[in-house]
Amino acid sequence: MSRAFDVIVLGLGGMGSAAAAHLAARGQRVLGLEQFTAPHDQGSSHGRSRVIRQAYFEDPAYVPLLLRAYELWRELERDSGRELLTITGGLMLGAPDSAVVSGSHRSAKQHGLAHELLDACEIKRRFPQFHPDADTVALYEKNAGVVRPEESVRAHLDLATRRGATLRMEERVESWSASADSARVKTARGEYEAGQLVISAGPWAGEILRELNLPFQVERQVQLWFEPNGGVENFLPGKFPVWIWETTDGAHPYGLPALDGPGGGVKFAIHHGGKDRFCTAATVERNVSDEEIALARAQIASRLPALDGPCLRAVTCLYTTLPDEHFLIDRHPSHPPVLIVSPCSGHGFKFCPVVGEIVADFVEHGKTRRPVSLFRLDRLKV
Ligand SMILES: Cc1cc2nc3c(=O)[nH]c(=O)nc-3n(C[C@H](O)[C@H](O)[C@H](O)COP(=O)(O)OP(=O)(O)OC[C@H]3O[C@@H](n4cnc5c(N)ncnc54)[C@H](O)[C@@H]3O)c2cc1C
């Protein structure tokens, strides 16, 4: 078997497509293998829009990565000629001591990010679409916005191809193995060898890394698009921000503006919401029930009543979550040529280009100057 490739990227979704583009830009001979035709709607990187923000309530350690990600999103737009990042402003709502508000504030202060704190009256004055109760406050971040997942995957794949990568769609990796300085994969069409293997399999990562018994939990999520009563005007970017609301009932709804204009609907979802949500990519129920739409409406009715119009579209998607809800980016503990890249936990998309850059650093230099200690495998004690 000839060794025609330096690195194989297994899975060409959000992370794998970015990794392939960045690796190819460094002159690596890249083979990308994807079981479907990317972008597709079976994994984690579909649904037209993803929230991007810098005041990161999950942990201030993400902020340097986010600042780099913003630069790389703009670079990707220039290189691909596609519109990928739309700045809309972002509203993080909740009680003053909620994780969403206090955590965002902590990140903003620690990293000197532009932000404003709004009380309930000010929220209603500036964004009358929201009906907060008197105890709700918000952190407003003008640099928050939306990235487009399918377009981003296309942009990274196009760039990877232009930079010489070989990308094979509809070619599922059935097994892999590694020696001290190489890795092999087997598909129905053949076997390939390379110096390194990047496993960016998203919700299939637990399966492909079965021997590690990683504590991944695959979670079914529902994305809904509602037509506002009274028209879409007040929900267009410029008038309506991205938003996340840590509610006292623990529901955690969030949403994005009407990116696609009239007829496109306004996206609404509930983070970690839904019944019977734990599943696998093979067993997930892809249909959305009327009961789930009714649960969403119950949240909308009291908080954003103008949004309570017809439901235009309902799509499921998969989170791949670790117990601490941080990412996993590290070498395989027994096979150093294998890099595990699993940045999801429900908040990874905004990082795609910087993750691609980090993967390229690891493959090329064995290390990265980006702060990634939060994502080490040994914290999981497997
Ligand atoms: C509903 C929802 C809302 C979200 N909202 C946000 C948000 O607002 N902001 C944000 O930043 N993030 C958000 N996220 C998270 C973000 O979308 C994910 O972190 C990101 O999409 C994960 O990308 P991935 O590359 O790991 O997985 P995927 O994009 O699913 O890619 C994995 C790929 O590997 C392929 N694959 C798997 N096994 C094999 C195999 N054996 N052989 C070949 N190919 C294989 C799959 O087909 C797939 O294409 C959200 C996620 C969901 C589901």
Give 204 Cα–ligand 1 centroid separation in angstroms. 10
pTM: 0.98
Ligand 1 pocket test, candidate residues 42, 45, 157, most atoms within 8 A of CB: 45
Statement to judge: residues 192 and 61 lie in one domain = no
pLDDT digits (tens, 9 = 90+) for 46-69: 999 999 999 999 999 999 999 999
What is residue 2's predicted lDDT score, i.e. its pLDDT?
52
Tokens for 135, please give them: 């105890």
> Token digits for 183?
């890795």
Asked whether residue 157 falls in the same domain as residue 300, the answer is: no
- pLDDT interval class at 274 (50, 70, 90): confident
> What pLDDT score does 207 carry?
96
Pick the atom of ligand 1 nearest to 50's CA.
8
Task: Kindly state whether residues 195 and 70 are assigned to the same domain.
Answer: no
Let me know whether 222 and 359 are in one domain.
Answer: no
What is the residue type of 152?
S
Total domains in the chain come to 2
In this structure, are 251 and 305 located in the same domain? yes
Calculate mean pLDDT across residues 256-260: 96
Instruction: Supply the angle between the helices 99-111 and 63-80 in degrees, to the nearest 10.
Output: 80
Residues 141, 74 within the same domain: yes
Same domain, 225 and 205: no
pLDDT for the residue numbered 353? 98
Confidence grade of residue 115 (pLDDT, cut at 50, 70, 90) = very high
Helices (H), the chain: 14-25, 63-80, 99-111, 120-126, 149-162, 205-208, 290-303, 352-365
251: domain CATH number?
3.30.9.10
Q: Is 116 helix (H, G, I), strand (E, B) or coil?
A: strand
Atom of ligand 1 nearest to the CA of 14: 25
Which residue owns the Cα nearest ligand 1 atom 5? Answer: 50
Residues 121 and 193 occupy one common structural domain: no
pLDDT in tens, 80-91: 999 999 999 999
Mean pLDDT of the chain: 96
CATH number of the CATH domain containing 194: 3.50.50.60
Query: Does one domain contain both 161 and 91?
Result: no
3-class DSSP state for residue 317? strand
When pLDDT is averaged across residues 316-328 and rounded to a whole number, the result is: 97
Output the CA–CA distances (angstroms, integers) from residue 85 to 70, 140, 348, in the order listed: 9, 18, 15
Alpha carbon of 14 to ligand 1 centroid (Å) = 6
DSSP type of residue 251: -
Contact yes or no for 241/256 (Cβ under 8 A):
no
User: How would you label 71-96 residue by residue, b for 16+ Cβ within 10 Å and e otherwise?
Assistant: ebbeebbebbeeebbbbbbbbbbbbe
Question: Do 120 and 176 sit in the same domain of this protein?
Answer: no
pLDDT (mean) for 167-194: 97
Pair (276, 203) in one structural domain: no
191: confidence class by pLDDT, cuts 50, 70, 90:
very high
Q: How much distance in Å is there from the Cα of 99 to the middle of ligand 1?
A: 25
User: What is the CB < 6 Å shell around ligand 1?
Assistant: 10-16, 33-36, 38, 43-45, 47, 50-51, 172-173, 200-204, 208, 221, 223, 269, 317-319, 343-344, 346-350
Task: Identify each DSSP E strand in 123-262 by its residue range.
Answer: 137-141, 145-147, 166-168, 173-178, 183-187, 191-199, 217-226, 242-245, 253-255
Last residue of a domain, one of 276, 298, 321: 321
Final residue belonging to a domain, choices 272, 292, 321:
321
Structural domain harbouring 30: 5-46+150-215+324-380
Ligand 1 centroid–CA 316 distance in Å is 12
Of 277, 292, 321, the residue that ends a domain is: 321
pLDDT tens per residue across span 224-234: 999 999 999 99
One domain, residues 95 and 65:
yes
What order of strands is seen across the sheet that includes strand 85-87? 50-52, 145-147, 85-87
Q: Nearest CA to 254 among 140, 14, 90?
A: 90
Pocket test for ligand 1, best of 50, 150, 315, 318 (most atoms within 8 A of CB): 50
What are the tens digits of pLDDT across the range 348-374?
999 999 999 999 999 999 999 999 999
Distance from Cα 347 to the centre of ligand 1, integer Å: 10
- Token pair, residue 140, equals 């407003």
- Phi and psi at residue 356, to the nearest 5°: -60, -40
